[in-house]
Amino acid sequence: MAIRPEIFRSGMRRLASGVSIITTSGTDGPRGLTATAVCSVTAAPPTLLCCVNRNSWAHDAIHESRILAVNYLSAADQDLAARFSDADTREARFAEGRWTHLTTGSPILETALASFDCRVVSIIDGASHSVFFAEIVDARIGDATAPLVYFDGGYGSFTPADAARAAR
């Protein structure tokens, strides 16, 4: 018997996660969403997996175009994370930030810690979400060093110096 969804959500809020903006470029223009359910799968070939809610504004565009970019956010991009998670800002999401493109045409955030431009190679049905397996075809590594982290309903960050102090 499965646990109640609210217990699951409460437990998952205890997991600190890096914050990304997943973007795509479809027939209706650029789409994007804030995500924490992103992780590496393998280095050969370089592949990520991204879990995207089917109700997301960007879901169908990713599914149809079979392209996406994962933009790992720096602490300086916290306002963009909030903007891309707000349903009321759908049309205005790309009005802020500095955006460019690499190989696939998916929007790449110039201030991101790293951006991976990908082609979707497999999709798995995950109940309310689709799990997109995306092979990385291009990348841009940024200059920022402080990651944006999501924990227990809020954003935070730390620097490499913070991590070194904690390791002592």
Convert the pLDDT of each residue in 60-110 to its tens digit: 999 999 999 999 999 999 999 999 998 788 889 999 999 999 999 999 999
Residue range of the domain that includes 93: 15-167
- When pLDDT is averaged across residues 42-65 and rounded to a whole number, the result is 96
The helix (run of H) or strand (run of E) holding residue 63 is helix 59-65
- When pLDDT is averaged across residues 116-138 and rounded to a whole number, the result is 97
Name the CA radius of gyration of the chain, rounded.
16
Q: How many CA atoms lie within 13 A of 106 on its CB side?
A: 30
Q: What is the spatial distance between Cα 6 and Cα 11, in angstroms, rounded to a whole number? A: 9
Is the residue at 35 inside a domain? yes
Q: What is the spatial distance between Cα 123 and Cα 1, in angstroms, rounded to a whole number? A: 27
pLDDT at residue 97, as a whole number: 96
Q: What is the spatial distance between Cα 4 and Cα 64, in angstroms, rounded to a whole number? A: 33
Is the residue at 4 inside a domain? no
pLDDT at residue 87, as a whole number: 78
Share of the chain above pLDDT 90, in %: 77
Q: How many domains, in total, are found in the chain?
A: 1
Is the residue at 36 inside a domain? yes
Is the residue at 9 inside a domain? no
By CB atoms closer than 10 A (0-12, 13-18, 19+), residue 129 is middle
Q: Report the CATH number at residue 99.
A: 2.30.110.10
